């Protein structure tokens, strides 16, 4: 015998109303075409609980006790890379047999979900120490200081985007339909390397790097683009240049030129791309360029130049003005990587 369909809340309320008006169980059953026993049950429950809404049911007893659930959560928190199957094996070794689905549901109830691990630079103790020192030394700097910083970095942009993902709506068995696949090209179809700089007042130069950049190439880029960008962005005389600790950047020939040109360089902690807001600018640039779907490398370079110059100065200033939050995040993380 199949399971009977539960009565709607409105129909249950009509049963209660008719009962309150003095009608008998039989009369209510006949009028509403509902079995007499059902009418009686609904009225009885209403008198006890004061509602016709279905109450929570106990359901099947949980496979894991509250103590076992807490142990499971502790296990996953202490070993974030452990798989659900491995969790099941560990629990089974202790005499508790559960399915992968049960493990998943328990973890979801406790706010734990499987996610892709973020790729971040490897930080050793010396890196943590220098990051914390940088945060402490610059915590009291206000927006005026950061607005005088010229941020710089290099980035590689691929023609088709090596890590681009695309979601499609499809039925089972249609995964390899040409409409549901994404063409892939080795090495992203080619790429270009760019050096760029920006400040709170807007974007500066964006220079294409030909081949593998050497210290001589980097020096030439600085000689041709650094001071012109600072003047165009209105940084005045007391501006500060930011660069990371790449060997090309810290080479003797580059240091000598920076000293001769009287350009003040911001002392920078190694392995700290999260402290450089230009990384956020690169993300914006790549999204905009790939949205235009360049078909060859020359067009890719052209779109990069156009989209770089199209980034609004207001967006640059908003990014720089919130810089102190990065320093606070480094301090809270005790020098470890942050969400930035």
**HEC string for the chain:** CCCCCCCCHHHHHHHHHHHHCCCCHHHHHHHHCCCHHHHHHHHHHHHHHCCCCCCCCCCCCCCCCHHHHHHHHHHHHHCCCCCHHHHHHHHHHCCCCCCHHHHHHHHHHCCCCCCCCCCCCCCCHHHHHHHHHHHHHHCCCCHHHHCCEEEEEEEEEECCCCCCCCCCCCCCCCCCCHHHCCCCCHHHHCEEEEEEEEECCEEEEEEEECCCCCHHHHHHHHHHHHHHHHHHCCCCCCCEECCCCCCCCCCHHHHHHHHHCCCEECCCCCCCHHHCCHHHHHHHHHHHHHHCCCCCHHHHHHHHHHHHHHCCHHHHHHHHHCHHHHHHHHHHCCCCCCCC
Whether residue 2 lies inside any domain: the answer is: no
> Which pLDDT belongs to residue 63?
80
Phi, psi of 48 (to 5 degrees): -85, -45
264-265: strand order across its sheet: 202-209, 191-199, 149-158, 240-241, 264-265
Q: Are residues 81 and 210 in the same domain?
A: no
Q: Are residues 98 and 214 in the same domain?
A: no
Q: Are residues 93 and 202 in the same domain?
A: no
Whether residue 152 lies inside any domain: the answer is: yes
Q: Are residues 273 and 173 in the same domain?
A: yes
pLDDT tens by residue, 158-204: 987 655 566 677 777 877 777 777 666 555 568 999 999 999 999 99
Q: Are residues 92 and 43 in the same domain?
A: no
Query: Are 168 and 180 spatial neighbours (Cβ–Cβ below 8 Å)?
Result: yes
Query: Are 85 and 97 spatial neighbours (Cβ–Cβ below 8 Å)?
Result: no
pLDDT in tens, the chain (340 residues): 456 678 888 999 999 999 999 999 999 999 999 999 999 999 998 988 888 888 787 777 778 888 888 888 898 888 888 888 988 888 888 888 889 998 898 889 888 888 877 788 888 999 999 999 999 999 999 999 999 999 999 999 998 765 556 667 777 787 777 777 766 655 556 899 999 999 999 999 999 998 899 999 999 999 999 999 999 999 988 999 999 999 999 999 999 999 999 999 999 999 999 999 999 999 999 999 999 989 899 999 999 999 999 999 999 999 999 999 999 999 999 999 998 8
Q: Are residues 208 and 244 in the same domain?
A: yes
Whether residue 56 lies inside any domain: the answer is: no
Q: Are residues 136 and 168 in the same domain?
A: yes
Q: Are residues 90 and 189 in the same domain?
A: no
Whether residue 19 lies inside any domain: the answer is: yes
> Which pLDDT belongs to residue 171?
76
Whether residue 59 lies inside any domain: the answer is: no
Whether residue 339 lies inside any domain: the answer is: no
Bridge-partner residues for 154, per DSSP? 195
Q: Are residues 149 and 289 in the same domain?
A: yes
Residue 101 is part of which domain span? 66-110
Q: Could you give the CA distance from residue 183 to residue 160 in angstroms, rounded to a whole number?
A: 9
Residue 202: give its domain's CATH number: 3.30.420.10
Q: Are residues 73 and 136 in the same domain?
A: no
Radius of gyration of the chain (CA): 32
**How many structural domains compose the chain?**
3
Q: Are residues 70 and 166 in the same domain?
A: no
Whether residue 4 lies inside any domain: the answer is: no
Q: Are residues 185 and 322 in the same domain?
A: yes
Model pTM above 0.85: no
Q: Which two tokens stand for residue 70?
A: 């807490």
């Amino acid at each position: 015998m199949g399971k009977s369909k539960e009565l709607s809340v409105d129909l249950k309320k009509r049963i209660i109303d008719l009962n309150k008006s003095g009608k008998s169980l039989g009369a209510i059953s006949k009028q509403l075409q509902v079995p007499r026993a059902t009418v009686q049950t609904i009225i009885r429950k209403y008198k006890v609980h004061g509602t016709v809404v279905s109450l929570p049911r106990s359901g099947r007893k949980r496979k894991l006790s509250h103590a076992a659930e807490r142990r499971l959560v502790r296990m996953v928190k202490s070993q974030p890379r452990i798989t659900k199957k491995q969790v099941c094996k560990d629990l089974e070794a202790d005499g508790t047999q559960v399915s992968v689905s049960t493990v998943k549901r328990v973890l979801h109830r406790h706010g734990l979900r499987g996610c892709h691990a973020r790729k971040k630079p490897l930080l050793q103790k010396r890196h943590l120490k220098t990051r914390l020192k940088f945060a402490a030394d610059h915590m009291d700097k206000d927006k005026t200081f950061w607005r005088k910083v010229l941020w710089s970095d290099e980035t590689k942009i691929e023609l088709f985007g090596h890590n681009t993902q695309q979601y499609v709506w499809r039925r089972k068995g249609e995964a390899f339909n040409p409409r549901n696949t994404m063409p892939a090209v080795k090495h992203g179809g080619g790429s270009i390397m760019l050096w760029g700089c920006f400040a709170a007042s807007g974007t500066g130069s964006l220079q294409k790097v030909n081949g593998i950049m050497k210290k001589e190439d980097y020096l030439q880029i600085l000689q041709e683009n650094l001071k012109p960008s600072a003047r165009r962005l209105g940084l005045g005389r007391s501006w500060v240049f930011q660069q990371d600790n790449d060997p090309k950047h810290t080479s003797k020939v580059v240091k000598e030129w920076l000293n001769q040109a009287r350009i003040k360089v911001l002392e920078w902690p190694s392995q700290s791309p999260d402290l450089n807001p230009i990384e956020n600018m690169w993300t914006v640039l790549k999204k905009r360029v790939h949205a235009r779907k360049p078909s060859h490398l020359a067009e890719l370079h052209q779109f990069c130049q156009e989209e770089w110059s199209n980034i609004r100065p207001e967006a640059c200033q908003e990014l720089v003005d919130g810089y102190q939050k990065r320093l606070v995040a480094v301090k809270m993380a005790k020098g470890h990587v942050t969400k930035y």
